[in-house]
Amino acid sequence: MLKQAVILVGGLGTRLGDRTRFVPKPLLDVGSRPFLDYLLDELSRYSTIKEILLLAGHRAESVVEGYHGKRWRGASLTVISEPSSCGTGGALKHAASRLHEQFLLLNGDSYFDFNLLDLAAQAMRSRSICHMALKRDMAGDRYGRVLLENKRVRGFLVAGAQPSGPINTGIYCVDREIIEYIDDMPSSLEQQVFPRLIAEGQLEAKLYDGFFIDIGVPEDLERARRELPNRVKRPAVFFDRDGVLNIDKAYVHRIEDFEWVTGAREAIKLCNDRGYYAFVVTNQSGIARGYYRVDDVHRLHDWMSGDLATVGAHIDDYQYCPYHEEGTVEAYRRVSDRRKPAPGMLLDCMKAWPVRTEGSLLVGDNGRDVEAAVAAGISGHLYQGGDVAAFLRTLLDARSNAG
């Protein structure tokens, strides 16, 4: 299971002129916050990622001061500073002792809105050393093009050689074995390492749609400032858990008792692939009744996240309510505005994440769920059996067609 992400934040940003003289390019202001924060927000959606390494070079002290030793939601941040300019490949080699066997690798100056775990799932099924995320089609002559044959990268065309086609977005799923392909320092992944991987059939890629921006030139930096703060706002699908995602066997809290409903994992991945947040909002009065503990709920949700990752899916946030007014455990015996039909859990998600209410919906299996959705200002839909993914796809398609 993928637990580490690495972000390259060491480039000089020479095409941006004076803007990057004293500020690393990924720390440039976009919407009153550093551009890097958007990448960290995106990575923090994936609860399986527990560690993020920032490989710093130019003005590394700014990155250290702002991020080293901190946490970003569930992930720890560590800054590793280059002793001198090492290039994109050299930065990896310098950090080799800290790298996991497999990790996500991102350029710190580009943002691409797609399901990262889908790329990771492809890498898990392959023996290739590096898997590259491609923007399916990007018009214009700024970017080079990637030549793809089935899943294999066969080469690159220089910028301006072709008016449209797939481009490298600077996001990869990488095996640590790539270090063996990095010899001289400084070293460039793009210029020195990737050609060797292509020659040995070790570089694969997959096409994705989604919003892409690279802030490497002034025009696109300004476009990011105009568009990115609004782009990260997205609708959400709120899932009740027992009876929608897993078969309701009454107070399910043990992994061995958990059984996915048909199409449940696929429904979550559908949200991920279409750019929706996916949230779980579940009443867990079994805690108040003394049947199990808070730790049991966390353990089960961690297991769910790991199992979802195997199919390239993830839940952005799990919200549960342990309270009940008739509980036998004193600490949890009370009325709560988080217990459905009250909307507290949904509203807490909306506060914690940039949720666009328009287009958001809830899937539940009883009237309490629907009441909570309506109280939170979104539509609620009753799932009454069958394939959850098919049920949800119909709802999302209807919204897409209406838009």
Q: Dig out the tokens for 166 from the structure.
A: 């797939």
Place of tokens 């890498």: 123
- Max CA separation in the chain (angstroms): 71
The active-site residue, picked from 109, 240, 316, 369, is 240
Closest by alpha carbon to 279, among 270, 287, 263, 268? Answer: 268
- Measure the CA–CA gap between 231 and 38, rounded to whole angstroms: 11
- Measure the CA–CA gap between 82 and 286, rounded to whole angstroms: 51
The active-site residue, picked from 242, 316, 365, 369, is 242
- Measure the CA–CA gap between 129 and 202, rounded to whole angstroms: 5
What does the buried/exposed string (b/e) look like for 297-314 if buried means 16 or more CB atoms within 10 Å of the residue's CB? Answer: beebbeebbeebbeebbb
Listed in sequence order, the residues at least 6 apart from 380 whose beta carbon sits closer than 8 Å to its beta carbon are 361, 362, 364, 369, 370, 371, 372, 373, 374
- Cβ of 172: how many Cβ atoms within 10 Å? 24
- Measure the CA–CA gap between 89 and 187, rounded to whole angstroms: 5
Indicate if 41 belongs to the active site.
no
Indicate if 240 belongs to the active site.
yes
Q: Dig out the tokens for 399 from the structure.
A: 């919204």
Closest by alpha carbon to 48, among 109, 132, 116, 131? Answer: 116
- Helices 344-352 and 367-376 pack at an angle, to 10 degrees, of 40
Q: Dig out the tokens for 260 from the structure.
A: 């996915």
| 284 class by beta-carbon count within 10 Å (0-12 exposed, 13-18 middle, 19+ buried) | buried
Give the strand pairing for 277-283 and 317-321. parallel
Which residues have a catalytic role annotated?
240, 242
